[in-house]
Each structure stands twice: as structure tokens, then as C-alpha cells.
Structure 1
């Protein structure tokens, strides 16, 4: 017996793995993954050859998965596979179910069994790509998704997933190409349009990004992700109509708390563009309070961790014996909005800098060593030998080798670097640390104005922000005292006041010759330079604190500034 899925059932069978990082299909307009009222051929006859009872159980499983009832779905799939062990769709859904449970290795194994039965099943390739990405096998995931596009070149979700995968890998040009293909097939694919706008933003193409966000809002006027993306564009200006739309959206029931938070931050930005700073701050305070209630930030705990790090590194450790080990690495230490973006832009323009990276490899090396020893970091640092540190340094260099592309320097700008500078320089004595600093009030308020995608849990309460800033500052002063030759204070305001002097100072510290491309991006790049090095003005953080006047008096008091 063959069974043609209804449109609703087709969406369920295609239902994306609800992965945090990679969705499988559009979450927008119902039916938009087909791009028309007709079911895509890929979704037809998914139960071909099964008995009526197996088809009923398969429908029950797909419906249960769509409703989040995983136990019921698992029982139904087990019953299908008992009746038909080679049922590809049952295997595919079983792989998706394990993906939902977080059993990524098991999901991959089951999906590979499904593809062994039918190597041309594009849906199974999509599901496999999702599972592989969740397991950290990005290149294999990319290959699976490319194969899905080859098998189903007119299927928008295949191109969407491929574009999303390129974007996750930091390859926005590839993402843009794939996402345009998805939208050519299905202009209503809102998820593809949102990821496309994000990729365009990453390449500095803010005008087309704004157009795509606006197109999403034309179709769904209260779409929180579109408003949030639009608010993140420096060149976009909100009007009174935008304020009214956002206020209406905030009065409507929202599907999730994060949706209301996104709208709240966007409203603050829109009011700011109307120069209504009192109302903007009120909106900011509400949105930050909503976000703060979702988190479990403990300022006292962070302060205690900083104290423990200061105690553990009261003096430099006996690190790796090779003083040149890690000379390729430039660690950037900074709070968000403290000028780190401009510093990265300057360094990335240099032809001898091989990559700009925010990878967690340093944290992973430390975490893996802690797991191996069965002790947290601060319990084993005192007993680590120079040979241990050298081994860890070599491990870090091996993990980050693909970013350097054989060039003399590499930037590591992970947001947690400031906490572990002592560890990094024990592992890599030849590395350099650039501490990017900016006016305290501007830095802290900029953090308060931003809804971060992840991390930075300290940033949703003014008291927490001020406490975190103090911890960051005292650790920075300590690292500078311990490592005066490897640590540079790089001041944002001084850079803007005298760019040439400060850029020359930065490059000299990093062991780089002065290159015209680094001096304000006034010269055309060579053909060999990447998109990151295209000619553009310096990206500068706006100075906004003064406009808010007395609204920031409490933050001024907490920071001890006027």
C-alpha cells in the first residue's frame, strides 16, 4: 500500500530537528516549505509499501514528534520497525527522535542505516546533516546537505539547511548563495530570509540585510527575530510607524518569553532613534528585567572566581620551556563594546594575519585537561609541569591550525580570554595579549543596550554589569603586572584621537610591520585579501551615555564615574 501524506502530515515528516543550531525547514507561513499548495514530490509516498497498520503507526509517530510527545513517538516507531524493519521513513524519524533527545551519535548511526536502504533519500540526507552538525562534524554535515541539494535541487528546505550550515561555519558567501536558491524556489521561506539577512550583515551588506528584514516584517509585522535583526543594523533608522508597530506587537500574546524580550530591545532602539531617551530607557529596563529573570547570574560567584584566579596566579607559573611557543597567537581580552571590534578590524586587515577567530579552543583545551585529571582548573594549575604546559600549548596550536592558513599571526578573541590569561601564557609563553579598553560608562551601557545571542549573562542588570566590569579591570591590572612584556593596554578613545600612532603601537607589539591597509582602511586591498579586508570605514562604537543624562546616574554611581 502507498500512502500520500496530507500537507499537514508532510510538514510533520519534514519537521525540522528542533536543534538549537540548525533547523531543517521553515518555521514561517504554513505550507511554505512547499512554496505552493501542492505537496512537494519528496514528501509523497513516504510510507510506500507499508501495511495500513504500519502507516497508521507512522502517522501517529510523526504527530507525536510534532507535539513533543517523544515517549509516544518512540513506541509507535518501534512498532513500525517491528512490522517493517527496513522502513526508511521510520528509520529517519527514529534518527530525528534520537536527535531530539540529544543522542547525536545514535541519531547519526540510525540515519546512516536509513541511507544504506535508500541512498537517494534527500530528506534522510538533510536529517543526517543536522545530526552530524549537532555532533560537531561540520564538514561531514556540509557534505550531507550538499548531497541533499543535488538529489532535490527544487526543494527549498535543502538549500536553507545548506545555507544555515555555511553560516554556522563562518562562510557567509556560501550561505548567501544557498539561501538565494532557497528563496528563488520559495519566496515565503521566512527562516531562509532571516538567515540570509544575518549573513549579509556579517559581510557588511546592511542595505540588503535591512531589505530582507523589512520583507519578513511585511509578511509578519510582529516577527521578533526580524525586529531584533533590524535593530542590530547601525545604518537602519526607525521611524514613528516602527515604534507604533512594535508597541502593538508587545501588546499581543507572544509564543515565547524570548520573543517579548527581542521586541522590547527593538522598541528601545526605535525610541532612541526618535530621541525619546526617557521612554527608551524605560523600555530597556523592562526588556532587561525580562531577560534577567530567565537567567541565573551570580555576581558574588563571579567575584569569588576572580579572587581564586588572582590567588592561583599570584606570581607567574613555570610554564612551557620554549619561550617562543605560541608566538603566532594574539589573544584579545575585552568586555563587549570595549573596542574589540575595531581592534580586530585593524589586525584582520594585515596581510600576515591568518584569521579572526572567536572559537572556544582555549576553553576546550583547559576543560579537557581538567576532565583528564578529574579536577577543576584551579586545583591542578599549581602541580602542572613545564612539560604539561607545553603539551597543552601544542594541543591548542593543533586545534587552531586551520585558522592560521600558514600565516605568521592568528587572533583569538574569545569572550572568556580575560579570565584565563595566566593559563594561556603558561601554555604559550610567546603569545601576546591585547587588552581592549574603553570608557567604563560607555562600555557598560552598551552592554545593557544589547540583547546577546548567548553568554554575557551579567549584562541584564546594572549592578551586575558594574560588578563584572570591576572584576574584569582588576584581573586586567593583575595580568599586566605579571606579564608586562606580553600584555598591551589598548585604549579605544586614544585610538580614535590619534589613529596612526596607536595603530603603529599595536602592530609593533604584535610583531607586525606597518601595513597601509591597517591605517584607517584608506587603501584598496590586494586581490589576495579576504572579504574581511575589504576597504571600508572603521566600525566605531557610538557614544550614547551622555544622551541619556540622569537615566544613567545609578550606573555612574556604581562605576565611580561622573
Structure 2
């Protein structure tokens, strides 16, 4: 009997072709997966699951637009399928279209999905939309549906931590580790939940795990950083730094990064955006909602964010990439098509950015922050690396406030060095590279201060933790906000925190991090020498 769909008895059916695609993906053969996907979609255009798989593959290779177009074909065939709707929401979120994704996610939130994977994917999107309480519900449902999946417990723990539920987070992590002893990120997060003590710590289990997995690069990174943190909690300074050194080296050797590129980019920014240019090109966007909190990471940006966000007229939109994304998009439009196709360097982008419409940039940035912003009179964008764009922010949003956090050079650099970031800050795992990046940052901030006098509010971290109320009053005055006592009770508020400081912000202000570098002065000598060579006073006295 002939196959009416293909005219051949031997031709595979759509499910078989889809299985071939998934098998090719599992083997890492992306080219074959793409070829079979094309066959699948061409021969069986009415097979909705095939378009879903195509969408997943497109997203996997970074083709966000193609992923969205593919899943929309699946939805056209089966509009009510929640799996397809969830994939569309994920595509929109990858593209930064939170406004488009939110109604889809909110509709799916009302449904009890029937697989743990789907529940976990929905919870992830809810978290990204700052709907953390609802994310908890769906992660808990994922666990009920798939109680043997360690990843669900880890993800549940991350949301509990963001919400300040540290005991519940620790319980979830214990379950994750029990189910998967090789989940090294779970060990790290468990240690980060609080200060370890001589009576309660995880040193023995961590050392044993490191010995068992000594040949695993990821284990060496995660476990050494975790051991460094626990030894530092116990004030075992030499052991702490030795594990930190090993962990940072293991992370750095797996990265492709050249600090010279970042240093040259900062030099180019200062050259292009000199005082004359800044004076002559100011845009006219009158929106004054944004408060940019910026600087190097680990300098107190989260503390300032929490103080400001405790005000009744302010909400925090978190660490947004929106300004950089809108600027890059506008700059790309100023470049020849052949340049866009062959690749845009950081220096190309800097030069092209000087030609954009700054008024339009300001409005597009504000529009892109909705609905994370707009529910209150003011909102905070706490992306530290916005220090690169302080001049552009001034041109695009002349009514916005810019707050720059400053901290002792060695405390700043050591706090960065001992933090294992998810993806950002590749300069942070080598002391010499860290010193060079820090020096370039300091020079750029000095340039902004000279080129835009009085525009940026410089907040000392040390002054803030020593006199929180006095400094907070000045900060609010600069931001044109009336004083509210709630701004001193930030650690009692339920607003989620998704940064590396999530645990600390649930505590009252503390000063124990001031001068921590002194415990490691000899080990930090490569950093100190680099700063001195770059003309930066390391403030050793």
C-alpha cells in the first residue's frame, strides 16, 4: 500500500523525521539537524510539532526571529496548545519583548500544565518578569510531577533565595544535591545562603567532592569558589585565598577574552564623547523617570537600589540591558549593510553611536522598559556597566538621574575577584586583567566627571555604610525625592533581588566588608602592582 503523503512506502512519517532532528541535536550535529528540519517542514507543513522543534533549534543557534516565526506557524495550526504558547513567550523574552510576552505568560499562569518541564519553563519566564511568587507555585508543581528531577529543586531554591526565604532555599538545595551529587552550582548556592560557622559548615563534604571530581573543570571552578567562601567565613584566610586562586584560574582558562579590547573601547568612548560633543548634542526627551545606579559590580549598587526602591514613588526594574541594546540597535542602523553583515566591532559601534538621534534613543529606551517601569513615578535601572554609557544617557535622557557608586579600589577589586558571576565580567578572574580594567573604568569616570560637571552623583560605599541615614537623605534629595523612613528598612521589604548580593540585602547595613582586602594584602600584590603601574593609587594606608 502506498504512502499517500510521500508517494513512497519507505519514506519516514513526520514523527520519525522529528526524532531524527532531536537525535542530531543530542549528538551536537547542528548542520544535520537543520537539514532534516527543512525536510520536515517542507514535506509536512501541517505537522505543528515539527514547527515547535524548528523553533527550538532556531533558538539554540541564536536565530531568535526564526524561532518566533516557526512557533507562530505551530500556533496557527493548534492555537490552544499551551506548549506552543509557552515557546512563543520564551522567544519573545529572548528578543527583549517583555510587553509581548507578559500576556502570554499571565494566561499560562492560570493553567496547571501537565509536564514538569513545561511548569519549569513557565516558572522561568515568570521569574524573568519579576512574578516570583507565581514562579514558586509552578516550580513546586514541577516537583510534584517529576520528583526525581534535581534541577527543579535547584530552580525552586533560586526563587526562594531571591525572595529571602533562605531556610526553604536550603532545604530545596539539600534535595537537589541528594538527587544529583554532581550539581556543583547547588553546593555553591547553599554556601552563599548565609555565613558558615565552626559548628555548621560544609567543608568536609566540599573537600570530598573536590577530590572525587578533580578532573572535572566545572567542579574545580564551582567547588573551589565555594570552599573559598566557607573558609573566609571561618576567617581561615590563607586557605580561602588558595581555593579562590585555583577556582579563578580554572574559570579563566576556559574563557576567550582580551582585556585590551575593553580598555581600547573605554578610551574610544572618552575620545568620541568629549565635552564639546556632549554640550552640542543633547537630546530633548523630557522623561525623568529613570534613576541609573551604576559603577563597578560589588560596590554597593544593590544597597543603593534597595534604599531607593523602598520609597513609595520608586520601583526597581533590576539590572536592565535595555539601554545598551537600544543604543546598539540605533548604531547598527548608521552602518553600511556590508559592515553589519561582516561583523561589527566594539570600536565601530562607539563611532556609529555618535550619529544616532539621541532624543529617539531616550524614548525608545523608556518604551523598552515597560511594563517593568511605569507603575510608579520613578524607576531604577541598576545595570553597573551603564557607566560606559553615562554620556549617552545624559544626551538621551537629560532629565534622568545618574548615581555612581565608589568604593576603595582594593575592596572593589577583591570583591569582584571572589565572586563567581554567571556570564558577565570576564575580566574578573585574573588579578592583572582586573587591575587593568579597573584602571580604565576609573579613567572613564574621571572623564565623565570633567566633561559633565555636576551631572553624576558620586556615592561613597564606605560613607553609606558608616552613616546610612545621613547619606540616604542626601541621595534622595539629589533624586528629588522626599524623605521616607521606609528607606532605612529596606532589608524588611519583600521585593526580590536577583543579583550576587541577594543574601546581603536581607540584612541591615553592615560594615564587615570594609577593608576586607587587608587580610589578603600579600596575595593581592599582582593587583596592587598593576594599579600602581596604571597610575591608580591603591590606597594601602
Q: Same fold (TM over 0.5)?
A: yes
> Residues 324-473 of structure 1 correspond to what in structure 2 (within 5 A)?
325-374=286-335, 376-380=348-352, 388-473=357-442
Q: Does 1:547 align with 2:507?
A: no
Structure 1: stretches of 5+ with no match in the other structure: 2-49
Partner of 2:123: 163
1:245-264 to structure 2, matched below 5 A, reads 245-253=205-213, 257-264=217-224
**In 2, Cα distance between equivalents of 1:94 and 1:520:** 49
Deviation at 1:51, TM superposition (A): 8.8
Deviations 1:257-277 (A, max 9, x none): 444322221122233234332
Taking structure 2 as the reference length, what is the TM-score of the superposition? 0.83
Alpha-carbon RMSD across the aligned residues, in angstroms, is 3.4
Number of residues of Structure 1 aligned to a counterpart in Structure 2 = 506
Q: 1:218 to 1:389 in 2, by over 3 A?
A: same
Structure 2: gaps of 5 or more residues? 2-8, 337-347, 498-504, 532-537
Q: Normalization by structure 1: what TM-score?
A: 0.80
**Cα distance 1:259–1:118, how it changes in 2: closer, same or farther (>3 A)?**
farther
**1:247: Cα distance to partner?**
2.7
8 Å Cα contact 2:284-2:359 kept in structure 1: no
Q: Secondary structure at the match of 1:434?
A: strand
Change (3 A) 1:257 1:508: same
Match of 2:402, SS state, is: strand
What residue in structure 1 maps to residue 268 of structure 2? 308
CA contact (8 A) 1:319 1:429 kept: no
Query: How far off is 1:159 after superposition?
Result: 1.2
After TM superposition, give the deviation of residue 298 of structure 1 in Å: 2.6
Please name the residue that 2:484 is paired with: 515
Provide the rounded CA distance (Å) in 2 between the counterparts of 1:180 and 1:104: 29
Cα distance in structure 2, aligned partners of 1:94 and 1:275: 53
1:175 paired to 2:135: yes
Q: 1:99 to 1:377 in 2, by over 3 A?
A: closer
Question: Would you say 1:233 and 2:193 are equivalent positions?
Answer: yes
* Superimposed CA distance per residue, residues 443-464 of structure 1 (whole angstroms, 9 cap, x where no aligned partner): 1101010111121111111111
Q: Is the 1:499–1:520 contact (alpha carbons within 8 Å) kept by the matching residues of 2? A: no
Shift in alpha-carbon separation, 1:399–1:145, aligned structure 2, 3 A: closer
Shift of 1:473: 1.7
Aligned to 1:435, the other structure's residue is in SS state strand
Correspondence for 1:479? 448
SS at match of 1:183: helix
Of the candidates 266, 269, 285, which is equivalent to residue 226 of structure 2?
A: 266
Deviation of 1:226 (Å): 0.5
Q: Deviations over 1:301-347 (max 9, x none)?
A: 33322222222233152356677834332222211111111111111
Which aligned pairs between 1:113-262 and structure 2 lie closer than 5 A?
113-119=73-79, 121-138=81-98, 140-141=100-101, 153-235=113-195, 242-253=202-213, 257-262=217-222
Kept after mapping to 2: 8 A contact 1:228/1:265? yes
Higher relative contact order structure (alpha carbons within 8 Å, sequence separation ≥ 6): 2
CA displacement, residues 134-177 of structure 1 (integer Å, 9 cap, x when unaligned): 34444555655676677763422221111011112232222112
